[in-house]
Chains A and B, each alone.
Chain A
Amino acid sequence: AQTVTQSQPEMSVQEAETVTLSCTYDTSENNYYLFWYKQPPSRQMILVIRQEAYKQQNATENRFSVNFQKAAKSFSLKISDSQLGDTAMYFCASMRVDSNYQLIWGAGTKLIIKP
């Protein structure tokens, strides 16, 4: 079974700083996707970034980038130049690419950006 672990329940940084959120996962599959989702206090879940496991190149979306270490089964999210609007719960998730299209979620990391 797939599992996703986020070891940091809560983090806080000053505005404009860089922060890295950790995520490790366990899967026996060769083909899968990894995601970071953001859930602001308003509760709307938003996709931040995704990574296909077969791609070696780390995904990047503006200030958000990942460090995907496939052998170590690690998938960390780096937020550069953090902004107050980045304050949210961040969830790491994985999905097998077969007939079982379901997201397996980590417990989440509460990120607080301080002014």
Chain B
Amino acid sequence: KAGVTQTPRYLIKTRGQQVTLSCSPISGHRSVSWYQQTPGQGLQFLFEYFSETQRNKGNFPGRFSGRQFSNSRSEMNVSTLELGDSALYLCASSLFRALQETQYFGPGTRLLVL
């Protein structure tokens, strides 16, 4: 069974632009969570989607948004990019919310904002 895939793997943007990252969960998994990883702040929870609905959101500004499609694929969008948005963005999937204790992570998308 294929693992969690994230596209693109690397991205370079400039301040003020917007970006969309994609995550395809493991087949059959319905829950997708997003995390931001930076050297300074470490790993921080962005949001969680289940059955096309955002169930939980971390402490990030409204510039960070996401959505989930009927096939459980998820996208996250960051508008008006800032230098501090440079990070590795990790997506994780799990079968159901109640089984979120087993999350499987994708390889991440490394975003560089210039």
Binding site for B on A (CB under 8 A): 33, 35, 37, 42-47, 50, 52, 91, 93, 95, 97, 99-108
State whether B56 touches A102 (Cβ < 8 A). yes
Q: Report the nearest A residue to B100, measured CB to CB.
A: A101
State whether A44 touches B105 (Cβ < 8 A). yes
Residues in B with CB closer than 8 Å to A43 are 88, 107-108
- Min CB gap A56→B, angstroms: 18
Query: Is B42 positioned at the interface, with any CB of A under 8 Å from its CB?
Result: yes
Q: Report the nearest A residue to B4, measured CB to CB.
A: A44
State whether A91 touches B48 (Cβ < 8 A). no
Query: Is B17 positioned at the interface, with any CB of A under 8 Å from its CB?
Result: no
Q: Report the nearest A residue to B88, measured CB to CB.
A: A43
Q: Give CA–CA (A93, B37) in the complex, Å.
A: 14
- Min CB gap A101→B, angstroms: 4
Binding site for A on B (CB under 8 A): 31, 33, 35, 42-45, 48, 55-56, 58, 88, 90, 92, 97, 100-108
State whether A46 touches B105 (Cβ < 8 A). yes
Given contacts A44-B105, A45-B90, A95-B101, contact A105 B55 (CB under 8 A): no
Q: Give CA–CA (A61, B29) in the complex, Å.
A: 24
- Min CB gap A37→B, angstroms: 8
State whether A101 touches B56 (Cβ < 8 A). yes
Q: Give CA–CA (A98, B101) in the complex, Å.
A: 12
Q: Report the nearest B residue to A105, measured CB to CB.
A: B43
Residues in A with CB closer than 8 Å to B45 are 102-104
Contact among A33, A101, A107 for B97, CB-based, below 8 A = A101
Q: Report the nearest A residue to B101, measured CB to CB.
A: A33
Given contacts A103-B35, A103-B45, contact A47 B102 (CB under 8 A): yes
